[in-house]
């Protein structure tokens, strides 16, 4: 089984400042990694994914994440945030084997202030 730990439940940040959301995972098998964003009263939208290849992945809205296998981490970063980035962010993992169930972290609420 896989598990995900998001180390920060809330992250307040000023507009145009950088932000990093931390995610660590645990798994005995190879995994795929994802970050999803949930805006208020909406479903989950995929921000970016790591399936294979380059460990630095770029997603939508200027976000990027780096897969670090030795540290079992997949931290999400954005160099300059906007008010519109205020949302809840979820890190998720699924096994590379024929098991597509996503295991989610508890989420990180990002609040961007002017």
Partner 1 sequence: GAGVSQSPSNKVTEKGKDVELRCDPISGHTALYWYRQSLGQGLEFLIYFQGNSAPDKSGLPSDRFSAERTGGSVSTLTIQRTQQEDSAVYLCASSPSGGEAKNIQYFGAGTRLSVL
Q: What count of residues does the chain have?
A: 114
Q: Which is nearer to partner 1, 27 or 32 (CB)?
A: 32
> What secondary structure letter does DSSP report for 81?
-
Query: Is position 65 an interface residue for partner 1 (rule: CB under 8 A)?
Result: no
Evaluate whether 107 touches 8 at the Cβ level (below 8 Å): no
Query: Is position 35 an interface residue for partner 1 (rule: CB under 8 A)?
Result: no
Query: Is position 10 an interface residue for partner 1 (rule: CB under 8 A)?
Result: no
Closest C-alpha among 13, 27, 10 to residue 74: 27
Burial status of residue 114 (CB atoms within 10 A of its CB: 0-12, 13-18, 19 or more): exposed
Alpha carbon distance 92, 64 (integer Å): 15
Binding residue for partner 1, selected from 17, 29, 51, 56, defined by CB under 8 A: 51
Query: Is position 102 an interface residue for partner 1 (rule: CB under 8 A)?
Result: yes
Binding residue for partner 1, selected from 28, 40, 43, 97, defined by CB under 8 A: 43
Alpha carbon distance 60, 51 (integer Å): 16
Least distance between partner 1 and beta carbon 104 (Å): 4
Per CB under 8 A, which region of 13-21, 49-57, 60-68, 74-82 contacts partner 1?
49-57
Least distance between partner 1 and beta carbon 42 (Å): 6
Query: Is position 104 an interface residue for partner 1 (rule: CB under 8 A)?
Result: yes
């Amino acid at each position: 089984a896989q598990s995900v730990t998001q180390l920060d439940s809330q992250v307040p940040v000023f507009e145009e400042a950088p932000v990093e959301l931390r995610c660590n995972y645990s798994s005995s098998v190879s995994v795929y990694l994802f970050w999803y964003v949930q805006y208020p009263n909406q479903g989950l939208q995929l921000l970016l994914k790591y399936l294979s290849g380059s460990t630095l992945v770029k997603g939508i809205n200027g976000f990027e994440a780096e897969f670090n296998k030795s540290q079992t981490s997949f931290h999400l970063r954005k160099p300059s945030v906007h008010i519109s980035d205020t949302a809840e962010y979820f890190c998720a993992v699924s096994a590379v084997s024929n098991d597509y169930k996503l295991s989610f972290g508890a989420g990180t609420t990002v609040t961007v202030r002017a």
